[in-house]
């Protein structure tokens, strides 16, 4: 067989192989998406837990301040009861009133922090439900992925072995060009020449529709042991059996 014929056989195997693998790729993409969403939920949960701890630390600090104020107020009450002069009494009373105001402010801060914790707890509860649902979806996605891999494993192995055999008869440089095209176009590495107008000798690439010079067509009809790539899409061009038969009949 000619080089182009060998390439066409390799291209057929390549397309079959990639077609099978695409089933797994779609399942992999879905599994990655579910994993990413779960990771985002986990990160959100960690952020809320951190905020909750910060609020608790803040409350502890305010409670310590409140305790210190209460202890000072208790001492001042004793001082007030034992005050011997009006000035001493007034001074103690003024400090007590100031501390009572501070104590009220601290209580407000504690209530604010506790309210924030309640909001965070509500968010965490809703987030936990979302994570449970996402876990179920993620487990289903993982199961589907493994099932799809198992379904095609034998056929993929067979096609990969066949592909190696087909590639082995081709020059290494030709295989490299083919593989680049296959990667760029998801296995669609080759393109047929299509006839636009026979009388005017107008032809084009069957994939990107770029007009081809007639001498390129003549070259491909006569030389099947070299490759010619489309100048636009870079796919490997070939002449269809129908076009070859028509040329021979003439």
Band (pLDDT 50/70/90 cuts) for residue 223 is: low
Taking residue 150's Cβ as centre, other Cβ atoms within 10 Å add up to 9
Spelled out in words, what is the top-level CATH class assigned to the domain 3-168?
A: mainly alpha
Residues 233-245 pLDDT 10s: 999 999 988 887 7
Can you give the pLDDT at residue 193? 94
- Is residue 249 scored above 80 in pLDDT? no
Percent of the chain with pLDDT over 90: 78
Residues 154-163 pLDDT 10s: 999 999 999 9
End-to-end CA distance of the chain: 23
Residues 148-188 pLDDT 10s: 999 999 999 999 999 999 999 999 999 999 999 999 998 89
| Separation CA 98–CA 105 (nearest Å) | 11
Can you give the pLDDT at residue 224? 64
| Mean pLDDT score, 62-67 | 96
Band (pLDDT 50/70/90 cuts) for residue 146 is: very high
Taking residue 203's Cβ as centre, other Cβ atoms within 10 Å add up to 23
pTM for this prediction: 0.65
Residues 23-58 pLDDT 10s: 898 899 999 999 999 999 999 999 999 999 999 999
Residues 91-125 pLDDT 10s: 999 999 999 999 999 999 999 999 999 999 999 99
Q: Kindly tell me the burial class for residue 164, based on how many C-beta atoms sit within 10 Å of its own C-beta (0-12, 13-18, 19 or more).
A: exposed
| Separation CA 160–CA 183 (nearest Å) | 16
- Is residue 144 scored above 80 in pLDDT? yes
Is 33 strand, coil or helix? helix
Domain limits of the chain? 3-168, 175-249
- What mean pLDDT value characterizes the chain? 92
Q: In angstroms, what is the C-alpha Rg of the chain?
A: 40
């Amino acid at each position: 067989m000619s080089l182009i014929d060998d390439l066409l056989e390799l291209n057929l195997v390549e397309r079959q192989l990639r077609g099978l693998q695409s089933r797994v790729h779609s399942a992999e993409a879905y599994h990655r998406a579910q994993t990413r969403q779960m990771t985002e939920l986990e990160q959100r949960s960690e952020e809320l837990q951190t905020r909750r701890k910060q609020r608790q630390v803040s409350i502890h600090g305010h409670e310590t301040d409140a305790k210190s104020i209460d202890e000072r107020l208790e001492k001042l009450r004793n001082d007030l009861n034992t005050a011997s002069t009006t000035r001493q009494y007034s001074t103690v009373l003024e400090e007590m009133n100031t501390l009572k105001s501070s104590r009220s402010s601290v209580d407000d801060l504690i209530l604010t922090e506790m309210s924030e914790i309640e909001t965070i707890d509500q968010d965490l509860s809703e987030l936990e439900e979302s994570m449970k649902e996402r876990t179920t979806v993620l487990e289903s996605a993982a199961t589907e992925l493994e099932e799809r891999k198992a379904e095609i494993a034998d056929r993929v192995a067979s096609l990969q072995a066949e592909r190696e055999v087909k590639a082995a008869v081709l020059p290494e440089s030709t295989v490299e060009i083919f593989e680049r095209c296959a990667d760029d176009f998801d296995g669609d590495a080759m393109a047929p020449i299509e006839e636009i107008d026979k009388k005017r000798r107008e032809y084009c690439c069957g994939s990107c529709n770029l007009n081809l010079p007639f001498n390129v067509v003549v070259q491909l009809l006569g030389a099947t042991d070299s490759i010619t790539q489309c100048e636009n899409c870079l796919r490997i061009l070939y002449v269809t059996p129908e076009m070859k038969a028509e040329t021979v009949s003439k």
